[in-house]
Every structure is written in structure tokens, then in C-alpha cells.
A and B are shown apart, each in its own frame.
Chain A
Amino acid sequence: MKPLDRRSFLARSGLFVGAAGIGAVGALARNGDGSSAAAQGDASGGSPAASPQQEWNVSQAELAESDPFDGPHQAGVLTPRPAQATFAALDSIAPGTGELEAALRALSVRARELTAGGPAPLLEEGAPPSDSGTLGPVNAPDALTVTVAFGASLFDDRYGLTSRRPRELVQMPTFPIDDLDPAESHGDLLVQICAHQRDTVAHTLRELLRTVHGSLQLRWNIDGFSGAARGPTPKNNPRNLFAFRDGTANPPTNDSKLMDELVWAGPGEPAWAAGGTYQVVRIIRQHVEFWDRVALTEQQEMIGRVRSTGAPLGGTSEFEEPRYDLDPHGRRIPLDAHIRLANPRTARTADQRILRRGYNFTRGSDRSGELDQGLIFVAFNQSPERQFATIQKRLLEEPMIDYITPVGGGYFFAPPGTGGATGWIGNGLFAASS
């Protein structure tokens, strides 16, 4: 993100201060590449209400960042990944297509308001407040994104959508290493909420659910977080809970041609799905105590990278090419190492690459006192069968499978964006079916 010009930031903040009082911050739209529309200066923040002696415990500039809700594609796919997330799967209890459509419209309207930020609307004091108010009188945008996706079950016979189902949208299959809990698998909808701050994410989930009560019911949800950027450079990826850097080999999101080939819906999909993408979510328990009792050498051979630097074995830089072509027998990087199976880097497997956007999770302990921690694996891809499932089948050969257990998640299709301020996520689907 580019630095914010402090004077510009304060001037924008003043708009909301006048409207809503203390603690207000202004929205700062981010460009498509994730940089802010205005430059950021003082990362520790500063607002008219700040005492010179006090330090903000969060970046006020980050709170002011805004990712547009409307556009040809949904936010939360290519946009930069903020530190906090919640994934909420919902089931529709709407009695008819009209009610379902109304709920989806309402979801978009409220998501648009929250991602833009601004004063929380007030009603008369005798009525329940229209906003929970947990973020104060002004909802700072905080780079909030809300991404809505549909599960295969939404296209059953309830709402007349069967013929409109995206071509590859099926219930996530059970892979041989899975131990899926039905209570945290699948769902009619998935709502992915991401923001810099945990309270923004928690507030958004609460507000969105309130909007759709009576039509969409929470099925399961899980909170995620990203490791902090701890360098050595800002480009280095944060670590997962096995302590290895995650996301190193992600395809560059600023390569629109590549995104068209790997992420956005391809030929053969229904017309309404153009600009959408398949979203795979896997809740993967990582048996961290077990992992911590494995020799470092073995850990590194299982992953194929040096733990400290993230470099491929035999290299020194996280972004160094592993050069499997020069290591055909696995003397440097074992043939069953995770990075080698996940992305063999051959011409034949180039179209199997996926865009990962996962988060770590930690949620207490299991009944035997072991930490319940892991990875919310999130992948956006054009074809789950050609991409995610093919990779997953290769990974069945990796030794790391002893240390993980996929316990939930699902296959979803994230429709295209709203296209404009009057649109809503899914409008193309319903327009096509009417």
C-alpha cells in the first residue's frame, strides 16, 4: 500500500467528524493493484481527536482503506489479503425464489454500505439500533471485502435454478485423507469477509446475518488470520502454522491474461457466470504438536523449502526457482515434497495452477487437549476438476498427509461482481432464470 498523505487523510476524516462526531475516519479507495488512491504518510495514524501523548493501537490509515464492493469481479478474490477473515456458510430457508432473491439483494446492499464505511445509521432511540454499534458511531471501511459464493445445493429443485448451475459446481468430494464433519462442510452460500481488524470482520458478520435472518441461516463459520509480515522484506510471505511461508508460488494477480486463464470462469459456463470463479475452501487441521516433534531436516524435506528463508532446498531466496528440471531424481528436493507435487512447474501442469488466499485458524483444543489449529485453505480457480482436484490427488502421495486432517469446507462458485451501484451479487443468475 502506498503511504497516505496525512493532510489529505485528515481532510477526509473531517467529513465524517462533522457528520458523526468523534472517532470518525474517511474511506480511502484502493486501486485495483491494492495501492491506496491517496498516499499514506503516518502509519501510526493521526486524527483530530488524537492527543499528542497518545499512540493509536491500530493504523488509522489502514482503517480508512476501502475496497470497492461494485465492479466486474467481486472484491476478495484478487484484492490484497487483509489480516483477518471469517468464512460463513449459510443455508437458505427462504420459502420461495422471490424471498431468496430479496435476501441476496439485501446482503449486497448492506455489504456495499459496510465496505464503503460511514456513519452507522441511527433510528429513534426507542427502537433497536439499526447497527450493533460495535465499531462506534462510524463504521471505518478497514479494507473490508465481502465475497458471496453459491454452493451446489442452492441449485437443487427448491428455487428453479437447476438448469443455471455452473458447469463444475458439485458438492466437494471426499478425498481419501478427509475426515469431513458435516457440521462444517458444504452449504448453500459462502460469505467470505476480510478486513484488517478482527472487530471489523466480527461486526460485518453480525450485521450481514441480521440482514438476512429468516431467509438465510448460518450453517458453519470459522475465523482466520494471517501471519504478520515479519520480513525480511515486505515481499516475503507470512508463515502458516507449520512455520513455512505460504503463498510463494501464487500466480501474479496483476497479470489479467493469466487470471483469465486460471481464475475467471471459462468457456462452457452459463452466460451469467462470466466474471465469476470457483472458490474451494478446505478447513485443514494441522497436528502442530506432532509436527513440532519432527526433525527440522524432515520438515524441510516434506515441504521442499528451507523453513527460515522460504527458499527451495538448495537455494537462498524465497522467490528462487526450484529448478526441478535440474533435479529429476529428487536429490535436492524430494520427488514427494509438497511444493513439487503441488506445482511441478511444467508446461503440462501450467494450467493447473490456482490462486491461493488462505488464512490460519486457531480455535481452542480438541477433547484430548491438543491444539485445534490449522489452515483455512482457500483457492480460486477456473476449473476445480482441472486445477484444485488434480493437485489434491497428487498431494495424496506427500508424507505431510500424516500431519494434517481436512475436516470441512466446500466447493462454491463466486458469481461476477455487481457491475454497478444498483446491481447485486447473483442478479445475473436470477435474471437468467426469470
Chain B
Amino acid sequence: MGSFVLISALTSSGSHATGGRGHRPATVGEGLTPAPLANFELHSPHVDSEVQVYSFQGVAGAANATPPSDSPVVAASQFTQPIADYRAYALAQLGRMETQLGRLQAALAGGERADAESAWRGAYADYLRLGAVYLDGQTALDARVAKLNLEIDGTSGGLPGGVSNARFTGLHRIEYGLWSGSSPQALTAYAGALATNVHELAAVLPRAEITPLEYATRAHEILEDAARDFLSGMDVPWSGEGVLATDAGLQATERLIATLAPVVGTTERVMPTVTEELGHLRSVFDGLQAAHGGLLPSNSELTSEQSEQLDGTLQGALEALSQVPGVLETEAPSTVPRIPAADFVVQAR
């Protein structure tokens, strides 16, 4: 194995993007032994820190030498209250959504497209304020919740025939109909089925298991999904309501972080950065709402400057949020067993 060089910034402030608390090059975990070659000062608008040039010489046998976590393990019991708080929050959101769906059904039946679109926005945002759904499908209850989620929020992507597939139902089927000129009355059956599914979800959600790992992972994955699916327009091709959807994801994340803050504690430097970045993002949404007459704009209504501001601030928040799961591990990383030497086989090439 040859050697290569990595330039690693050694921050003294603890605000390094990788979130590590020790002075350790980020790639050391890939089984390479660093040896400092030289120190010099790096001056840039973004980084002002001592920089150390490392030479890495590969070491056979160290390939899985993942360094130990630099955060203490958190007791799983510490997640009990946050998850309970989240369940109560989620049920309240579903209650609000049911109210919006009542409005939606009435508007559709009355042929009031504008009212229907408004109610759809409210219902969609309420649903996304639940945050992410993590289900491994190992239990019948998981499978039921997963099916309900698909019927409520499934898109036409991945369905043979796309929008014409009979399994395309729920919020996005109604979105497709409303924004592509369908008769509102033609959508009432979809709205009725949607309301039934949401009611059932509210009944089963309290019993669905949420593990500490899943809960901690939501800290950044709710907004990761928003960046991937909403602001790109992928999940809202007809209404273009990616800003609204992302704002809902932010609200879910704010709630989640509030419940996790006591678990993370004050000794971690992660939370102040997260709080600061989420605050920046919240102020961007507030600014957008003010600039667009009190309503969040659709993706296409954003100016290029507004898009850059929103996208960039969201990415900054995500970089901070991505550090959260690492400080909420409930188990110490296990060492990967070696492939038994006696059974070492090199593939024929």
C-alpha cells in the first residue's frame, strides 16, 4: 500500500465540521496511521487555524481499526421521555390534519378549487410535521403503519404506469388532480379514503415502536429528505409546494431537537451549533413568508437570491444536525470480527 497526504484542519474551537472533540484527522478511522510531517498556518475567509500535513502509510491488518467513539454512551432509558413527548406531538398533528381533511372534503364536494388547494396545503404540511417514519417491517404493526404511510403520502414514482396506477392514492393523487385540472368532485373519493387512513394511523401510531437509534437519526434525516425530495421538486411536481414542505420538516426537527436537548446535555458542543443553525433557517422562512404576503411561496415563486439563501442555509443546518446522532449512541461501536485467517481466500482474477 502506498502513502498519501491529507491536510487536516485542527480547530481549537470545537466547531470542526466533523464534530470530533479530539484533534484527530477525520480519515484516521479508515485504518491508516497518521504521522505528522509539518505544521503551517492556513488563512482563508472560512478557516483560520493551525493546519497539519499528515502522511498516511497504510498498515496491513488495521483495515477495520475504527477509532473509538469520542462521545460517552447514552442510556437508552433517557429516550423514554423524548419519545413520549414526540408521540403526543404527533397525535396532535394528526388531529389538526383531520380537521384540514374535513375542509378539503367539503371544498372538493362543493367544487371550490381554491379552497381545496388551501386545505390540501394545510393537510400536507400537518402530515409532514410528523417528521420521518422509520419502520423495519418486522412486526405486523410496522407493516400496517408502513402501508398507511404509503397510501397517505406515496408518490407516483416507482409505480408502473405512474399517475395512472390504481395504487397512486392519498395526498399526492389529490395534488395531481387539483393542479392538473381535474374536477374537484372527481377527487372526493380519494379525500375520503385519505381521511380514513389518517384516522387509522392516529389509532395505531401510539403503539408503533420507535427505537432510540431511529429517534436520534431523525434529527438530521427529516431535513435531509426535505432537501432531497421537496426543494428539488421531486415529491411535489404539481403544486410545487417544496418550501411549505421543508418548513414543515423544520418544525418537526425543531420539536425533535427540543426533546433531545436534555439528553445531549450541556457538555456537548453540538447543540449550540445546531440551535444556531436552526435559528438561521427559521429566520429565512420567516423572511420568505414576509416577502410573499404572509404565505410561503412555491418553489417556482422563489427568486434566485431567495433560493440560494434557503438552499445554503438548509445545507448549513444539515451539516450541524448530522453531528447529533453521533453524540446519542446508546451502544459502544462493536469491533468488526476478522475473517478467519485460515479461511482467507483471494479471489481469482
Q: Is the beta-carbon distance between B227 and A293 smaller than 8 angstroms?
A: no
Q: Is the beta-carbon distance between B66 and A296 smaller than 8 angstroms?
A: yes
Contact of A323 with B345 at beta-carbon distance under 8 Å, contacts A311-B63, A367-B231 already known: yes
Which one of A321, A322, A331 has the highest number of Cβ atoms from chain B below 10 Å of its Cβ?
A321
Chain B residue at minimal CB-CB distance from A322: B339
Interface assignment of B347: CB less than 8 Å from any CB of chain A: yes
Q: Which of B27, B66, B312 contacts A297 (CB 8 A)?
A: B66
**Quick one: given A293-B318, A295-B325, are A173 and B224 in contact (CB under 8 Å)?**
no
**Hey, which chain B residues are within 8 Å of A311, CB to CB?**
63
Q: Which stretch from B122-130, B154-162, B289-297 is at the chain A interface?
A: B154-162
Q: Pick the interface stretch among A82-90, A91-99, A302-310, A419-427.
A: A302-310
Of the candidate stretches B29-37, B108-116, B182-190, the one touching chain A is B29-37
What residues of chain B have their CB less than 8 Å away from a CB belonging to chain A?
1-2, 27, 29-32, 58, 60-61, 63-64, 66, 155, 157-160, 162, 220-221, 224, 227-228, 231-234, 242, 299, 307-308, 311-312, 315, 318-319, 322, 325-326, 333, 336-340, 343-349
B336 & A314 in contact (Cβ 8 Å cutoff): yes
- Closest residue on chain A to residue B337 by CB atoms: A332
Q: Name the residue on A nearest B322 (C-beta).
A: A293
Contact A174 B159 (CB under 8 A): yes
Q: Which B residues lie within 8 Å of A332 (CB)? A: 336-337, 339
Q: 5 A-B pairs, CB-CB below 8 angstroms?
A: A290-B224, A293-B224, A308-B63, A316-B63, A326-B343
Q: Please, what's the 1-or-0 string for A361-376, where 1 marks a CB less than 8 Å from any CB in chain B?
A: 0000011111000000
How far, in Å, is B161 (CB) from chain A's closest CB? 8
Q: Which of B228, B311, B337, B346 contacts A290 (CB 8 A)?
A: B228
CB < 8 Å neighbour of B64 from A179, A235, A313, A331? A313
| Chain B residues in 8 Å Cβ range of A173 | 160
Q: Tell me the minimal C-beta distance from A325 to chain B in angstroms.
A: 9
A405 within 8 A of partner (CB): yes
Report B-chain residues with C-beta under 8 Å of the C-beta of A309. Answer: 1, 30-31, 58, 63
What is the bound-complex CA distance between A313 and B66, given in angstroms?
Answer: 11
User: Inside 8 A of A369's CB, which chain B residues have their CB?
Assistant: 307-308, 311-312, 315
In the complex, what distance in Å separates the CA atom of A167 from the CA atom of B31? 48
Q: When the two chains form their complex, are residues B343 and A323 in contact, meaning their CB atoms are under 8 A apart?
A: yes
Given the known A-B contacts A176-B158, A293-B220, A320-B346, are A367 and B337 also in contact in the complex, defined by CB atoms under 8 Å? no
Distance of A287 Cα from B223 Cα, bound (Å): 13
How far is it, in angstroms, between the C-alpha of A297 and the C-alpha of B67 when the chains are bound?
10
Closest-by-CB residue of A relative to B226 is A368
Q: Is the CB of A317 within 8 A of B346?
A: yes
User: A377 contacts the other chain (Cβ, under 8 Å)?
Assistant: no
**How far is the CB of A406 from the nearest CB of chain B, in Å?**
9
Complex CA gap A308/B4 in Å reads 12
List the B side residues contacting A326 at CB < 8 Å.
339-340, 343
Closest chain A residue to B60 by CB distance? Answer: A316
Cβ contact within 8 Å between A367 and B299: yes
Known: A293-B319, A293-B322. A321 touches B346 (CB 8 A): yes
- Cβ B158 vs Cβ A177 within 8 A: yes
List B contacts of A296 (CB < 8 A): 29-30, 66
Please tell me if the beta carbons of B337 and A314 are within 8 angstroms of each other in the complex. Answer: yes
CB of A119 within 8 Å of the partner chain: no
* A319 interface residue per 8 A CB criterion: yes
Write out the residue numbers on chain B whose beta carbons fall within 8 Å of the beta carbon of A235.
349
List 4 extra interface pairs beyond A293-B318, A368-B307, CB under 8 A.
A297-B29, A306-B63, A366-B232, A367-B233
Report B-chain residues with C-beta under 8 Å of the C-beta of A297: 29, 66, 333
**Residues of A275-334 whose CB lies within 8 A of B:** 287, 289-290, 293-297, 306-309, 311-317, 319-323, 326-327, 331-332
For the complex, is A184 an interface residue (Cβ under 8 Å from B)? no
Q: Determine whether the beta carbon of A308 is less than 8 Å from that of B231.
A: no
**A52 located at the interface, meaning its Cβ lies under 8 Å from any Cβ of chain B in the complex:** no
Distance A296 CA – B29 CA, assembled complex (angstroms):
8
**Max chain B CB contacts within 10 Å: which of A174, A180, A293?**
A293
Closest CB of chain B to A374's CB: distance in Å? 13
By a CB distance below 8 angstroms, the chain A residues around B338 are: 314-315
Residues of chain B with a CB closer than 8 A to A178's CB: 157-158
> B224 contacts A321, CB within 8 Å?
no
Chain A 177-189 per-residue mask, 1 if CB under 8 angstroms from chain B, else 0: 1111000000000
Q: Does A232 contact B (CB under 8 A)?
A: yes
A126 neighbours in B (Cβ, 8 Å): none
Q: Considering the chains assembled together, what is the distance between the CA atoms of A323 and B340 in angstroms?
A: 9
The answer for the CA separation of A357 and B123 in the assembled complex, in Å, is 45
Tell me, yes or no, whether A231 is within 8 Å of chain B by CB.
Answer: yes
Which residues does chain B contribute within 8 Å of A176, judged by CB atoms?
A: 158
Chain A residues closer than 8 Å to B242, beta-carbon distance: 368
CB of A407, distance to nearest CB on chain B (Å): 9
The verdict on A267 contacting chain B, using a C-beta distance below 8 Å, is no
Report whether A308 and B32 are in contact in the complex, using a CB–CB cutoff of 8 Å: yes
CB distance from A169 to the nearest CB of B (A): 17
Cα A174 to Cα B338 in complex, Å, equals 39
Q: How far is the CB of B272 from chain A (nearest CB, A)?
A: 19
Q: Closest residue to A372 on the B side, CB-wise?
A: B232
Rounded to whole Å, the gap between the CB of A299 and the closest CB of chain B is 10
A252: CB under 8 A from chain B?
Answer: yes
Which residue of A has the minimal Cβ distance to B338?
Answer: A314
Write the nearest CB–CB distance from A244 to chain B, whole angstroms. Answer: 11
Set of chain A residues within 8 Å of B29, measured between Cβ atoms: 296-297
Residues from chain A with a CB closer than 8 A to the CB of B232 are 366-368, 370
A243 and B319 CA atoms in complex are apart in Å by: 19
Assess the A314–B339 pair: CB atoms within 8 A: yes
Q: Is the CB–CB distance between B228 and A287 below 8 Å?
A: yes
A307 near B30 with CB under 8 A, answer yes
The answer to whether residues A306 and B30 also contact, given A179-B157, A231-B2, A293-B319 and a CB cut-off of 8 A, is yes
Using A173-B160, A332-B339 as known contacts, say yes or no to A252 and B312 having CB atoms under 8 A apart.
no
A320 to B348, CA, bound (A): 10
- Cα of A290 to Cα of B63 in the assembled complex, Å: 25
In contact, B345 and A290 (Cβ under 8 angstroms) = no
Partner of B1, one of A232, A252, A323, A367: A232
State A231–B58 Cα separation when bound (angstroms). Answer: 12
Closest residue on chain A to residue B225 by CB atoms: A402
Using known A-B contacts A178-B158, A306-B30, determine if residue A320 contacts B347 with beta carbons closer than 8 Å.
yes
Could you tell me if B31 and A308 are in contact, using CB atoms closer than 8 angstroms? yes
Q: Which residues of A have CB within 8 Å of B157?
A: 178-180
Of the residues B234, B333, B343, B347, contact of A179 by C-beta under 8 Å: B234
